[in-house]
A = this chain, B = another copy of it.
């Protein structure tokens, strides 16, 4: 990988090939940045009206997707510290978007659930994002969805690939 740039200083064919390949990949990098920026902008804007931010969105989203998940599992997905999560989670619990229930099997655990209010906003935000993606799929043709998902899976660290099922 690093060797690409050692040999790319001359004008050999292989250097040219590798340079243009990198150029194509740069476009993907850029598109990914822009797409993620616009993908998160709408929900961010809506949440900011309620005094929440993107961090709250992520918590609402993942709890909605995994009802009854534990705090540890959430930390594992978000890859932030528990102190960071605690602040966000406390606000969401205080404002009645998320409920913490005691796990009867293991009394140390708190199981996370969306309240009706939390579920409502989750659906609103998810629909906005889903709508944006669906439009893109429609424009991009037949196998766009499966190819897109496959590539994203490939970008994700191996460890977390199994987290999202592929039964669709």
Chain A residues in contact with chain B, CB under 8 A? 1-2, 4-5, 20-39, 41, 58, 61, 65, 77, 79, 123, 126-127, 129-137, 139-141, 143-145, 147-157, 160, 163-166, 168
Contact = CB atoms under 8 A, between A and B. Distances in A.
Contact of A156 (B35, B65, B129): B35
Contacts of A149: 27-28, 31
Given A150-B140, A151-B136, A151-B137, A127 B1 contact: yes
A31 B132 contact: no
Number of copies of this chain in the oligomer?
2
30 contacts: A1-B127, A2-B127, A4-B127, A5-B123, A22-B126, A23-B168, A24-B145, A24-B168, A25-B130, A25-B134, A26-B126, A29-B133, A31-B153, A32-B35, A32-B36, A34-B152, A34-B163, A35-B152, A35-B155, A38-B155, A38-B157, A136-B150, A136-B151, A136-B154, A137-B151, A140-B150, A140-B151, A141-B147, A147-B148, A148-B151
Contacts of A2: 127
Nearest to A139: B154
A157 B35 CA distance: 8
A38 B148 contact: no
A61 B141 CA distance: 30
A149 B140 CA distance: 9
A160 B27 CA distance: 13
Contacts of A164: 27, 30-31, 34
